[in-house]
Every structure is written in C-alpha cells, then in structure tokens.
Amino acid sequence: MTTSSPMRPRLVLPLLVVGFIVVSVAEVWLLTAVGSVIGVPWTLVILVAEAIVGAWLMRREGRKAWAALTDAYATGKMPTGQLADAALVLVGGIMLILPGFFTDVIGLFCLLPFTRPLARRFIGLIVARQVAKQGIDVGVMKARFAPETVIRGETVDTPPPGPANDPQVIKGEIED
C-alpha cells in the first residue's frame, strides 16, 4: 500500500477555503449581473422560488431515496447506489436552498432523477481515481453476484475465552 505524500493533507484545507471563496465571489458577481439586467425584485423572486422548489424537490426525492434504501436493507441487498442517491439528494437540496445561481445548477444536477445517475457516476470516477492513487486494491469490491446467488456456509459456536472454557482447566491439568 502506498502512502500519500506529507504535503497532500496540508493542501486540502487551503484548497477548500480557496474553492469556497471563488464560488462565493462567482455567486455575488452573477447575482449582481442578473440583478442589473432584470432588476433586484425579480432576482429576489427567482431566488426565493428556487429555494422553495429546492426544498420541495429535496423532500420528494429524499422520500424516494429513503424508501429505496430501506427496501434494499429489507431485501438484503448492498445499498451502494441507494446510499449514493441519498447523499446526492441531501447535497442537491442544500445547494438549492442556498442563495445563488451556480449552487442551484449544481443542486439540480444532484437532485433531479434523470441527472443524478450522471452525478453518481462522476463522483464514482473521482473516488476510484483517489483510491487508485492511494494504491488500495479494490479487486474484491468489483465482484458482482446475481441476486439469487447463495453462498453456503455453516455457523460454528465457539465458547467465550476464559478459565471456565480452558481445555487444561477442564481436564484438571493445571495445578494450584
């Protein structure tokens, strides 16, 4: 397993801070540009409408994602896609509720049912790339089984460790 360079963790926080600053400046610039073209009241109406639609869409898609997640657990399936959908619905809803047009586009991309698979695939590629950079072998995770696949095995009860279950104590071989 390869270890990452010591400089990599130090760069994450500054990059996140720079990213938040850049997105904030871009949001303010775009809001100002739109406000100067259509007027401040209409810009505010659009932002409030986007927040309301985002909250409604998050609630609707969140219920669907939660139902799919609980169904996967109930049927014994590995809920990888359902977990990713639930996370994307949460992120998309938060992005839509935040004021701004750039975050709304990202939120819609994560929240809409027909664009969410693209977002899931995009995030999967990013995660796979990072895992490959770390040198972690994920060959076991690539195995796919048909839903009706049964792996046979048996359960063996083992007594808890302790002096009462020690074979030497039971045979009387330990002297006091």
DSSP string, 59-78: HHHHHHHHHHHHHHHHHT--
Residue 57 lies in a domain: yes
Q: What total of structural domains would you count in the chain? A: 1
Cα-only R_g, the chain: 26
Statement: residue 20 has pLDDT above 70? yes
Residue 63 lies in a domain: yes
Residue 165 lies in a domain: no
Q: What is the pLDDT of residue 166?
A: 60
Q: What is the pLDDT of residue 174?
A: 56
**Alpha-carbon span 45 to 31, nearest angstrom:** 12
Place of tokens 């986007």: 50
pTM of the model: 0.62
Say which range, 20-24, 44-48, 159-163, has the weakest mean pLDDT: 159-163
Domain that includes residue 87, residue range: 16-133
Residue 38 lies in a domain: yes
Q: How confident is the model at residue 1 (pLDDT cuts 50, 70, 90)?
A: very low
Residue 29 lies in a domain: yes
Place of tokens 């095995």: 153
Q: What is the pLDDT of residue 73?
A: 81
Residue 11 lies in a domain: no
138/2: higher pLDDT? 138
Q: What is the pLDDT of residue 126?
A: 82
Residue 5 lies in a domain: no
Residue 9 lies in a domain: no
Say which range, 11-15, 55-59, 129-133, 137-141, has the weakest mean pLDDT: 137-141
